[in-house]
Amino acid sequence: MKKFSNSGQTLIEIVIALGAILITLASISILVTISISNSSFIKAQSTAAKYAQDGMEYVRYLRNNNLSSFQSKNGAYCLDEVTDLNKDDPFTLLCLTPNIKGEFIREVDFSKNTFNCPSPTETQLSQTEVTVKVSWRDTKCGAANIYCHTSILVSCFADPSKSGGSL
């Protein structure tokens, strides 16, 4: 009589082992892809927040150094990258294309005496709410909403000539 040895692997065991290896590799690939996507999003979000803060700082600079230009602003404007603080007016009216590094759209909205700002006092007669919005897109944005991610900063500015100082 012949004895059969079970020392070799059957074809079924090999297919199961290869399937387990493929599932493991696919899972690792998906995790790496998601991690890279999240890292890119966080980097873009951080950059957009920086551009929003830069925009708010420029508005503060404008209010402190060119009050008449600041007071003349009302409504939405596009604010390109400001490299020259001595430039008379870096604001434009339409934000249809990216205006910062070819990736971000920065808009500034000036609203006079809104309900969102604290109530004016006798020495603080005029307030302007300034909203800086920086939008960007990535592969998660659908075709209908091209710039689906936004970083927003809102601040209230008092007229320093009427408030006795700078706020």
CA distances from 123 to 15, 72, 144, 162 (A): 82, 21, 47, 6
Residue 37 clears pLDDT 50, i.e. is over it = yes
Domain boundaries, the chain: 11-163
Lowest mean pLDDT among 14-28, 42-56, 59-73: 59-73
Between CA 149 and CA 111 the distance in angstroms is: 23
pLDDT at position 92: 81
Contacts of 63 (CB under 8 A, 6+ apart): 70, 157, 160
Question: Which of the pair, 165 or 120, is modelled with greater confidence?
Answer: 120
Across the range 114-126, mean pLDDT stands at 63
pLDDT at position 93: 79
